[in-house]
Structure formats: C-alpha cells, structure tokens
Amino acid sequence: MFNAILVENDDAGYRASLKQVDEAELPEGDVLVQVQYSTLNYKDALAITGKSPVVRKFPMVPGIDFVGTVEQSAHIDFKAGDKVILNGWGVGETHWGGLAQKARVKADWLIPVPDGMEPAHAMAIGTAGYTAMLCIMALERHGVTPDTGDILVTGAAGGVGSVAVTVLAKLGYRVVASTGRPEEADYLRALGASEVIDRNTLSEAGKPLAKERWAGAVDSVGSHTLANVCAGMRYRGVVAACGLAQGMDFPSSVAPFILRSVILAGIDSSHCPVPERKEAWRRLTTGLDIEKLDQINTSAIRLSDVIGKSQELLNGKVRGRIVVDVNK
C-alpha cells in the first residue's frame, strides 16, 4: 500500500482525496518508480479542483511530473537504483501521475536525472522550469539574442515565469517582467528582471498593432495578454507561448504576423521529443544557479497539503514553485 492523491468522479460527485492505494492498482508500465518528489502545477490544481476537464480517465492520480528511484524495470535502458525524471506524457490526465509514493510508467517517458542535479532541485525546477527552458530554446532557434532587444515574460511571478526570468537574465538578456502582484517586484528584480510592469497594461482588449517594444517574449497567460504581446512585438520578434492562465482564447488579428513578420512559437512540454527534453534539462543544470533556484522554490509541502494548496494556486496567491515531498 502507498499514499496517493486520488481524483474520482462518480455518483458521489467529483472529488479529490488522500488515500491509501494498493500497488496492484497501478496502471501498466515497464518501470516501477519509488517517487521522492512531485510538484503542484497549474494543470494539477485544475485536475484536483475540477475547474477544468483536465482528467480524462477516472480514478486518476494527478501530478504531471515527478523525480524518483527505479524500483523495478523490465526495460533495458533502466535498472533498479537509477534516478529518473518524468514530465508530461499525459500522466495525471490519462495515466496515473506523480502525486503519490509510487508510479508505474513507460520507460520511454523517463529521462535520467542529469549529472550533478539533486532530486529535490529537479522538482524545484519541475515541468514549469523545463517548459521555461523550452521557451528560451525556441527564442534562440528563431534568432533572438541578447543584443536584439528586451524580452517580455508574462506571469513572471509564477513557476514558468520565475525560471524564465532567471535563466534569461543569466544569459545576458534584458528582461521585462509582467505581473499582477506589484508586491513581487523586488522578488523579480532579485531574479534578474531589469523592469517590472503591471499585467493590467496587457490583460485588456487592445489594438491589432501597438508600439514595437519587445524582441522576444515568453507567455504563460494566453487570451488578451498573448494578443497584446504579439501586437507589441518588434519586427521579426518571437513569442514562445506555453500557457493559458488568463484563458484559452486568442482574440488577436493577423496584423502582427503579416506586417511585422512576428513568429508565434507554440511550446508543448508534454510530448516534446526526448532528445530536446534531455537538452533542456542539461542546460538547466548550468543555466539556473542553485542560489536563484532556492529563491524561486519558496514552497515545500506534504502530500496531505496538496488539495488545500490547489485553490490558492488557482487564485494566484502562490509565488514560484511548489515542491511536494510525497513521503511526508
């Protein structure tokens, strides 16, 4: 038996609870992992509260990422004792995820913990930090360099935003951080932001084209914010879009794309090819200072705290990352 957050939806209604689960109930997979840490992400909070139809199969253990130690393996690439990371691949949605003390998954979904990275640090980075690095790699791939101009990061006090600000600043970019929490300005400047702006300047309906301001952007917000970000890009600017905190809609026009050659690069961390995700994690070992990571990782909670913390996360009351020690 092991402890897990279990989401159920039946005649008794939609609910999440902390339960003891029999190992025999784990779904099929060729690697059994003893989970050490997971995280609480925006998608996990949606799954736990039922605010959005994230879960597609019931019952479900949420948790889109985890780090742990291989307990049993039927795959040649992994053996007992290996330290592994999982991000995405539908865990927490269609396959039981990381908010539990054990997980059984496909070997193809796992990557080794990079040399020199501690398991707790891997989840302090988590899917949010890994997604931030994928966004930065997309900006670079499309030619954005530190000398091309300012980089805007929306939702900057959140998980993706905090890591994006930190890594971009270390790479030499001038970062403009957008947040709806003015009290977090000092925190964002400490991470490396050169300027902090109020999200209200971006979150309402705007014009098809605005003043050219940014050479690149990392957006985890979507909706009107993403539309305004695109409208304010410089000629041939690049926007890496990875989230929908404000909404799934995109009330924009073709103007930024056909008049300024703006590139909108979609970032999917869940099914990203393994070589690219390995590269993202490799770069995170050198591109993210542990001291800054400790500043970002302000919340470490127990498995029993997850359900209550989910609503706080959805209400925008959580800074940075939430690491879950599933064995406490």
Confidence band, pLDDT 50/70/90 cuts, at residue 6: very high
Alpha-helical segments (H) within the chain: 42-49, 119-141, 159-170, 185-191, 223-231, 255-259, 274-287, 290-296, 306-314
Q: Report whether pLDDT(286) > 90.
A: no
> Is 25 in the same domain as 81?
yes
Assess whether 175 and 84 both reside in one domain: no
Is 62 within the bounds of a domain? yes
Q: What is the mean pLDDT of residues 259-284?
A: 96
Task: Report yes or no: 87 and 67 within 8 Å, Cβ to Cβ.
Answer: no
Average pLDDT in the 43-72 region? 95
Residue 7 sits in the same domain as residue 94: yes
Structural domain that includes position 177: 127-266
Are 147 and 101 members of one domain? no
Q: What three-state secondary structure class fits 176?
A: strand
What is the Cα–Cα distance from 249 to 271, expressed in whole angstroms?
22
Query: Is a pLDDT exceeding 60 seen at residue 297?
Result: no
Let me know whether 244 and 309 are in one domain.
Answer: no
* Structure confidence at residue 299 as a pLDDT band (50, 70, 90): confident
CA 133 – CA 88 distance, rounded (Å): 15
Q: Decide if pLDDT at 318 tops 80.
A: no
- Claim to verify: residue 137 and residue 255 sit in the same structural domain: yes
Whether residue 59 has a cis bond before it, omega within 30° of 0: yes
Cα 101 from Cα 312, distance rounded (Å): 23
**Same domain (yes/no): 140, 99:** no
Mean pLDDT of 139-155: 97
Q: Domains in the chain: how many in total?
A: 2
Domain at 55, CATH number = 3.90.180.10
Instruction: Answer whether residue 283 is part of any domain.
Output: no
- Is there a domain that residue 315 lies in? yes
Q: Of 266, 285, 316, which closes a domain?
A: 266
320: in domain: yes
Distances (CA, A) of 3 to 18, 52, 124, 163, 267: 7, 25, 21, 30, 33
Same domain, residue pair 208 and 230 = yes
Confidence of residue 298 (pLDDT cuts 50, 70, 90): low
Helix (H, G, I), strand (E, B) or coil at 240: strand
Indicate whether 94 belongs to any domain. Answer: yes
Give the pLDDT score at 292: 77
Instruction: Classify residue 106 by burial, with Cβ atoms within 10 Å: 0-12, 13-18, 19+.
Output: middle
Burial of residue 294 (number of CB atoms within 10 Å: 0-12, 13-18, 19+) = exposed
Within-domain flag for 285: no
CATH of the domain at 246: 3.40.50.720
- Tens digits of per-residue pLDDT, 66-76? 999 999 999 99
Q: For residue 290, is pLDDT > 80?
A: no
Whether 277 maps to a domain, the answer reads no
Q: pTM, whole model, 2 decimals?
A: 0.89
Chain-centroid distance of CA 76 in Å reads: 29
pLDDT digits over 162-194, tens only?
999 999 999 999 999 999 988 989 999 999 999
Model confidence at 232, in pLDDT bands (50, 70, 90)?
Answer: very high
Angle at 88 between CA 69 and CA 265, to 5 degrees: 140
39 is a domain residue = yes
What integer is the mean pLDDT of 81-98?
96
Residues 155 and 206 in one domain: yes
Over 80: is that where the pLDDT of 294 sits?
no
Residues 313 and 238 reside in one and the same domain = no
In a shared domain, residues 257 and 308: no
E-strand stretches of 11-147: 13-21, 31-39, 65-73, 83-87, 102-105, 110-112
pLDDT over 90 at 270, yes or no: yes
Residue 98 shares a structural domain with residue 137: no
Average pLDDT value for residue range 26-40:
97
State what percent of residues in the chain have pLDDT above 70.
99
